[in-house]
A and B are shown apart, each in its own frame.
Chain A
């Protein structure tokens, strides 16, 4: 039986784990389970940007033996970037085995607002399903409510649901 392995990266608190596992099962029909690994994030740190290189961390995740048995999703608490962009909420390999999500900018505290773990969990679930969708070969969707709708602001993530639209669902089943 294949799994989607959830790998917490540099994070202690796992309050989001259960809702995320349930969300992934609902979206993909594949069980997810937490697979703690020790990942050294320090080489990914860019002192000038004070952020972590998302592609480097994704590469480290893919080097884990688990990546050979199922899909892996890293959940990082640190702020991620790719060289051309100021930040990313997450990164995935299109039709590949791995993805990574940062909860840094999903957290209300980043925007100077009071902590809201329930909202943060919803955002982590949506962003994780979004990035995992890419690993199943799905592209961004123009349907506003679809979880695969592209989000560049955290408000965009709040606007969409945690489910695939009918069209994306159809494509997912076809793959």
Chain B
């Protein structure tokens, strides 16, 4: 921030003080104005933006303390510096308690005044920077990959908005690839903890011993290979959120340890004696049937109730097929940009194939299919032939499809395989060529 970017307003009933300070700050290049009393000052605060207000404590009418209160009501971030003619400890403490940046006793040493203003400017700059960074974090953390307009997804997002404002533990359920981590991040980024980290740990990816060390951290020498003290994920999540993915996969000892931490918010690092207190919110996710696990005795009932305070179940993609087009286009835009390809859309046939597919891998699978298609596509539109499915069986028709749909799909598949050769296709389908022509006509299939 250049001095000319900083506006200083001087409020003092003594003209000589106003003039002297105005002159002093103008020489440093600041934008300066002065007011002889609180009323004029408040008017100037309405008319213009001020970063620093120097105000005399004793003024006729409204005094400096009351004016400071009004200023803070207008804009909390304005820096106020109290000027006082005599060192009144009580008044100065009151001013500081009510948000004054500092106070100066008249007359001030020029060097002190110079330093005070520089520090105030730096403070103001940091406030601005902080605000900008918060804005950036909010933009970055916005989970834009949650795409869809289906009622099922809207219901989920409503739940996210509701629970985000609370500190309740959330259990996210859903098949693999439905976006459980995205939902966890959405909850975090809409909560009051959003300026602190969200720490993710995949509980299923560690052995019990390693998971313990990852979660609680360890002291130097706690075990072979523990060469340094290490903070655990719980400590890192202080004031933020910890996302425990695949919570259903943790062992008995870990379940017990976790239950204790959830109840007390206290733990010790492995090999340590110091009790560490942390403040975190837990969001966990699983694709396991936890109720069944509880019944079978592989998951503690008390931990289950602790974690399952608020439950969000993510619908599989096959249950929100109306979102497939939106999600597919979202990924087309994303990958076309990253691969520098001019791919803009899907053909109607491709769309039909995508909609018909069962998506056992959910959104993650759709993302992969689109990414692969963008790699192989030659034109600007993805054709059905550009798609390849990791689980082709899921592309088969299901009992939900009508007989006509099944027939149309099957004929099309055979025609694709034979390269449009009617004789070959009719032979495979064990129907006459005439019948095949009629079917092609009926279903408006390309020859």
Chain A contacts for B16, CB-based, 8 A: 55, 82-83
A139 and B106 alpha carbons, distance in the complex (Å): 25
Interface of B is mostly: helix
* A169 at interface, CB cutoff 8 A: no
Chain A contacts for B109, CB-based, 8 A: 85-86, 152
A85–B20 touching, CB < 8 Å? yes
A152–B17 touching, CB < 8 Å? no
* Interface set, chain A 73-98, CB cutoff 8 A to B: 81-88, 91, 94
B107–A139 touching, CB < 8 Å? no
Known A83-B14, A84-B107, A94-B23: A150·B113 in contact at CB below 8 Å: no
* A140 at interface, CB cutoff 8 A: yes
* A134 at interface, CB cutoff 8 A: yes
A91 and B23 alpha carbons, distance in the complex (Å): 9
Known A150-B114, A152-B110: A82·B20 in contact at CB below 8 Å: yes
B111–A152 touching, CB < 8 Å? yes
A94–B26 touching, CB < 8 Å? yes
Centre residue among A85, A87, A134 by max chain B CB count within 10 A: A85
A165 shortest CB reach to chain B, Å: 15
* A153 at interface, CB cutoff 8 A: yes
Known A81-B107, A83-B107: A94·B27 in contact at CB below 8 Å: yes
Mark B273-300 against chain A: 1 for CB-CB distance below 8 A, else 0.
Answer: 0000000000000000000000000000
B17–A139 touching, CB < 8 Å? no
B423 shortest CB reach to chain A, Å: 87
* B352 at interface, CB cutoff 8 A: no
A85–B27 touching, CB < 8 Å? no
Known A55-B19, A55-B20, A83-B14: A139·B108 in contact at CB below 8 Å: no
B82 shortest CB reach to chain A, Å: 13
A85–B24 touching, CB < 8 Å? yes
Chain A contacts for B28, CB-based, 8 A: 139-140, 150
B110–A85 touching, CB < 8 Å? yes
A86 and B114 alpha carbons, distance in the complex (Å): 13
* B415 at interface, CB cutoff 8 A: no
Chain A contacts for B107, CB-based, 8 A: 49, 81, 83-86
B-side interface size class: 20 to 34
Chain B contacts for A91, CB-based, 8 A: 23
A105 shortest CB reach to chain B, Å: 10
Number of interface residues of A (CB under 8 A): 18
Chain A contacts for B385, CB-based, 8 A: none
B26–A139 touching, CB < 8 Å? yes
B106–A83 touching, CB < 8 Å? yes
Chain B contacts for A85, CB-based, 8 A: 20, 24, 107-110, 113
Closest to B10 in A: A84
Chain A contacts for B23, CB-based, 8 A: 91, 94
Chain A contacts for B113, CB-based, 8 A: 84-85
A84–B106 touching, CB < 8 Å? yes
Known A85-B113, A86-B108: A139·B27 in contact at CB below 8 Å: yes
* Interface set, chain A 37-96, CB cutoff 8 A to B: 49, 55, 81-88, 91, 94
B26–A84 touching, CB < 8 Å? no
A88 and B19 alpha carbons, distance in the complex (Å): 15
A56 shortest CB reach to chain B, Å: 9
* B29 at interface, CB cutoff 8 A: yes
Chain B contacts for A94, CB-based, 8 A: 23, 26-27
Known A139-B27, A140-B28: A153·B111 in contact at CB below 8 Å: yes
A99 and B222 alpha carbons, distance in the complex (Å): 73
* B21 at interface, CB cutoff 8 A: yes
Chain B contacts for A139, CB-based, 8 A: 26-29
A38 and B19 alpha carbons, distance in the complex (Å): 27
Of A88, A134, A140, which contacts B110 at CB under 8 A? A88
Closest to B115 in A: A152
B319 shortest CB reach to chain A, Å: 64
Centre residue among A82, A84, A134 by max chain B CB count within 10 A: A84
B27–A150 touching, CB < 8 Å? yes
B439 shortest CB reach to chain A, Å: 84
Chain B residues within 8 Å of A, Cβ to Cβ: 14, 16-17, 19-21, 23-24, 26-29, 83, 106-111, 113-114
Please list the 8 inter-chain residue pairs (A to B) with the smallest Cβ-Cβ separation, ordered nearest first: A152-B111, A82-B20, A152-B110, A83-B16, A139-B29, A86-B107, A84-B20, A86-B109
**With contacts A83-B16, A83-B20 known, what are 10 further pairs, Cβ within 8 A?**
A49-B107, A55-B16, A55-B19, A55-B20, A85-B108, A85-B109, A94-B23, A94-B26, A152-B109, A153-B111
What are some 30 contacts across the A-B interface (CB < 8 A)? A49-B107, A55-B19, A82-B16, A82-B20, A82-B24, A83-B14, A83-B17, A83-B20, A83-B106, A84-B83, A84-B106, A84-B108, A84-B113, A85-B107, A85-B109, A85-B113, A86-B107, A86-B108, A86-B110, A94-B23, A94-B27, A134-B27, A139-B28, A140-B27, A150-B27, A150-B28, A152-B109, A152-B110, A152-B111, A153-B111
